[in-house]
Amino acid sequence: MSSEYQEKTTLVCVPFAGAGPSFFHPWRALTSDGCRVVTVDLPGRERRLLETPYRNVYEAACGTVDDVVAAAGEGARVVFFGHSLGAVLAYELAHLLSKRHEVTVERLFVSGSPGPWTQRARRATGLPDEEFLARVEVFAGFRHEALDHPEMRELVLPTLRADCEMHENYTPSTDEPLSIPICSIRGTTDDLVDAELAREWRKATVDEFTFTEMPGGHMYLVDHAEELVRLIEAGSGG
């Protein structure tokens, strides 16, 4: 890996349920020269649309960790950001990488998520299509336009179902806390994850824990990307 990349912080962005890596592409224009953005590219979406999606978070982490190392580059200083499903997947990736030496994980930012030991109370898994989509729309606070087009819906729905299943059935692979700082973030009006739930992440690390809120609901990051990137960079030395 070039010395230029080693001097930068690599921000690894992990997508939420139903999202693909392109959600985070605009973040590249928002980061400073000291930070570069790479994304976790999961099967079942975008360029990997026709691949079978994961239904288990730990399996997804194990199947993705080598790609994360390759994207970050050997010797990279890595910071993870994950929202909702992405938060627990980033947590599992951080655990896996803590046992390896190719990259150094420096901090974990988790967003819109209770602590890893708390499962979501309101579930969508197993509901008929229309009820499932209505429940997901409530979770997200908006309806993705692709779901209103029959052909696109047929392509997107299986991955969305798989994502919800692996999120709602998630249990941590280990009870051992991380030894890196964790910052938990939530939208001030998020009615899925209250402040108490978001603060549960303090039990997931023996290092520094911080908690912060930003304006908006569960999907606050859609409208506040620039402020969120500034927060991440300030917290990671980017």
Q: How many domains does the chain have?
A: 1
CB-CB neighbours of 189 under 10 Å: 12
| Average pLDDT score, the chain | 90
User: Can you say whether the dihedral through the CA atoms of 202, 80, 55, 198 is positive or negative?
Assistant: positive
Which pLDDT belongs to residue 237? 59
pLDDT at position 139, please?
76
Q: How much is the average pLDDT of 217-231?
A: 94
Tens-place pLDDT, residues 114-149: 999 998 777 888 888 888 888 888 777 656 666 777
Whole-angstrom Cα distance, residue 103 to residue 77? 6
Query: What single letter denotes the amino acid at residue 145?
Result: E
SS3 of residue 235 by DSSP: helix
Residue recorded with tokens 């229309």: 130
Question: What pLDDT, in 10s, does the model give residues 17-62?
Answer: 888 999 999 999 999 888 999 999 999 998 998 899 999 999 999 9
The tokens describing 16, both together, are 């939420």
User: Minimal CA–CA distance to 15: which of 110, 105, 85, 115?
Assistant: 85
Query: Residue 116 in 3-state DSSP?
Result: coil
Q: Per the structure block, which two tokens stand in for 217? A: 């609901």
pTM for the whole structure: 0.92
Residue 191 has which token pair?
């009615």
Domain of 146? 3-236
Task: Examine the pLDDT at 2 and tell me if it is beyond 50.
Answer: no
- β strands within 25-147, DSSP E: 35-39, 77-83, 104-111
State the pLDDT at residue 31. Answer: 92
Which CATH number do you get for residue 11?
3.40.50.1820
- On whether the CB atoms of residues 112 and 88 are closer than 8 A, the answer is no
55-87 confidence digits (pLDDT tens): 999 999 999 999 999 999 999 999 999 999 999
Q: Give the pLDDT band of residue 7 (cuts 50, 70, 90).
A: low
